[in-house]
Amino acid sequence: MRKSKVFVGSSHPELGKLICDRLGVREGKCTLQKFANGETSVSIGESIRDEDCYIVQSGSGRINDHIMELLIMISACRGGSANKITAVIPYFPYSKQSKMKKHRGAITARMIANLLTMAGADHVITMDLHAAQMQGFFTKPVDNLYAGPTLARWIRLNIPEWREAVVVSKNPGGTKRVTALADALKINFAMINTDRRRRNAFPISRASPTILAEFDDDDDNAAKNDPMSLSEIRTARVVQGHVVDDNYEAPNDEDADTSHASQDNEAMYSSVYSLTSNHDHALGGTIDATGSDDEDEHEVTEERMITLVGDVRDRTAIIIDDMIDRPGSYIAAAEHCRMNCGAKKVYVIATHGVFVEGCLEDMENSWCIDHIVVTNTFPIPSEHRTRSNKLTIIDISPLLAECIRRNHYGESISQLFDHMMNI
């Protein structure tokens, strides 16, 4: 590519090299170093006047340092009179903080978008944002690429009897992503929901008798013919992150229920007080601001109920999400699919393999998970790759390189999104 330079940050040099190899260009000369006091220093080692600059810097374990490094690299390119500066961020940092979760909280993802714009970025290329609405945080163009076509291709080539498999969303928030992949592959999908188990809830680990009671004798045939009425709704108990049977006695179950009831009452009264008082709250305030996220921010120790809507019996279950950071929800979903719903195998597939400390080991030790598949948008240490027998990493650099090439030559990017329809 003429009149262009590709600079690679220190967060994911392996992915940056793969992108440059795909483009047939060499990495731009750039010196990255830290002073003794921890400050980051960036020096561009060649002329970039009136050239298009692409800076590859993904999220990583040292996320704050690498964000600062990216901002300084953008500023250095702007100071070097670059024609256009594009930040290539395969895994967008702080993407889970894209909305107000608590009063006096911060929408950190919007702040990162503002910092990139103020530093001088003219364009952003990223992949599978945690919330697609984050594109509205930017005043510059954003290309949010989808890893769906690449993941679908891997499924077709590597999963036996994939036409009989079922794509599963582990929470309601990921249903849109799952249905898009299921439609592209023309296979069935299912959904899992996990919430706190209420006192006197209906029996679990089987089709709900509450549903059965809704049908009279005259409607037996109609109930049997309804694919969603009986066998496709399965529930189970989850205690300390694992599925247990009906006879398992959770420790201090009554105390926990009493504690939760008192907490619920206290939250209700405080919410009513907040609505009737004259105190100001951030963005006006909402009662359920703390519980609006589709992901649990902390490990849940109380008993919960997990429900699968769909049929995975004697089939392969493919659990899909945008990232794998904590193991708890994936292990519980896999155990429910295998132990209570009769799935033959369980594949866990995601775009970003963040894998916080101990996450990959816990998933590796779970007998209910047969395979873990992620792309290389997030740097995974080499020791984790060698120790894991279930982990597969898909190279996503061809998609990013093609997006950079099309962007440089002014070609349409929409074909990269429409490719999902042609799988």
Give per-residue pLDDT as tens, 146-186.
999 999 999 999 999 999 999 999 999 899 999 999 999 99
Which band of pLDDT confidence, cut at 50, 70 and 90, is reported for residue 301? low
Same domain, 192 and 321: yes
Planar angle of CA 257, 263, 264, nearest 5 degrees: 90
Which band of pLDDT confidence, cut at 50, 70 and 90, is reported for residue 292? very low
The answer to whether 231 touches 237, Cβ cutoff 8 Å, is no
Q: What is the pLDDT of residues 92-149, one digit of tens each?
A: 999 999 988 777 889 999 999 999 999 999 999 999 999 888 999 999 999 999 999 9
Same domain, 27 and 64: yes
Which residues neighbour 356 within 8 Å (Cβ) at sequence distance 6 or greater?
Answer: 325, 326
Which band of pLDDT confidence, cut at 50, 70 and 90, is reported for residue 88? very high
69 half-sphere exposure, CB direction, 13 A CA radius: 26
Work out the burial of residue 118: count CB atoms within 10 Å of its CB; fewer than 13 is exposed, 13-18 middle, 19 or more buried. exposed
Which band of pLDDT confidence, cut at 50, 70 and 90, is reported for residue 232? confident
Q: Name the most confidently modeled range: 270-279, 285-294, 302-311, 340-349.
A: 340-349
pLDDT at 372: 97
346 or 298: which carries more pLDDT confidence? 346
- Res. 423: pLDDT tops 70: no
256 or 335: which carries more pLDDT confidence? 335
Quote the CA–CA distance of 336 and 371 in Å, as a whole number: 16
Average pLDDT over residues 259-269: 47
Same domain, 153 and 125: no
Same domain, 127 and 157: no
- Res. 416: pLDDT tops 60: yes
- 3 state SS of 250: coil
Same domain, 15 and 122: yes
414 or 375: which carries more pLDDT confidence? 375
356 or 215: which carries more pLDDT confidence? 356
- Res. 380: pLDDT tops 90: yes
pLDDT at 48: 95
Minimum mean pLDDT range among 114-118, 195-199, 243-247: 195-199
Residue among 200, 201, 260 at smallest CA distance from 235: 201
Place of tokens 């594009």: 86
Percentage of the chain exceeding pLDDT 70: 78
Same domain, 8 and 117: yes
pLDDT at 244: 85
350 or 104: which carries more pLDDT confidence? 350
In a domain, 386, yes or no: no
In a domain, 154, yes or no: yes
In a domain, 184, yes or no: yes
In a domain, 356, yes or no: yes
- Res. 288: pLDDT tops 50: no
Average pLDDT over residues 341-364: 94
Same domain, 86 and 154: no
Same domain, 81 and 173: no
Same domain, 138 and 97: yes
In a domain, 392, yes or no: no
Structural domain containing residue 357: 147-199+302-378
Same domain, 163 and 308: yes
Q: What is the pLDDT of residues 2-17, one digit of tens each?
A: 899 999 999 999 999 9
The answer to whether 5 touches 53, Cβ cutoff 8 Å, is yes
Same domain, 111 and 176: no
Q: What is the pLDDT of residues 30-68, one digit of tens each?
A: 999 999 998 999 999 999 999 999 999 999 989 999 999
Average pLDDT over residues 334-363: 94
Which band of pLDDT confidence, cut at 50, 70 and 90, is reported for residue 251? low
- Res. 284: pLDDT tops 60: no
Q: What is the pLDDT of residues 128-137, one digit of tens each?
A: 999 888 999 9
- Res. 291: pLDDT tops 80: no
Mean pLDDT, the chain, rounded, equals 82
Expressed in percent and rounded to 5, the helix, strand and coil fractions of the chain are 40, 20, 40
Same domain, 31 and 115: yes
Which token pair is 287?
Answer: 């009662």
In a domain, 232, yes or no: no
pTM of the complete model:
0.82
- Res. 415: pLDDT tops 90: no
The answer to whether 58 touches 67, Cβ cutoff 8 Å, is no
Work out the burial of residue 375: count CB atoms within 10 Å of its CB; fewer than 13 is exposed, 13-18 middle, 19 or more buried. buried
Q: In CATH, what number is assigned to the domain containing residue 91?
A: 3.40.50.2020
DSSP 3-37: TEEEEE-SS-HHHHHHHHHHHT-PBPPEEEEE-TT
Which band of pLDDT confidence, cut at 50, 70 and 90, is reported for residue 418? low
The answer to whether 337 touches 343, Cβ cutoff 8 Å, is yes
Residue type, position 331, single letter:
I
In a domain, 265, yes or no: no
In a domain, 109, yes or no: yes
Tally of domains in the chain: 2
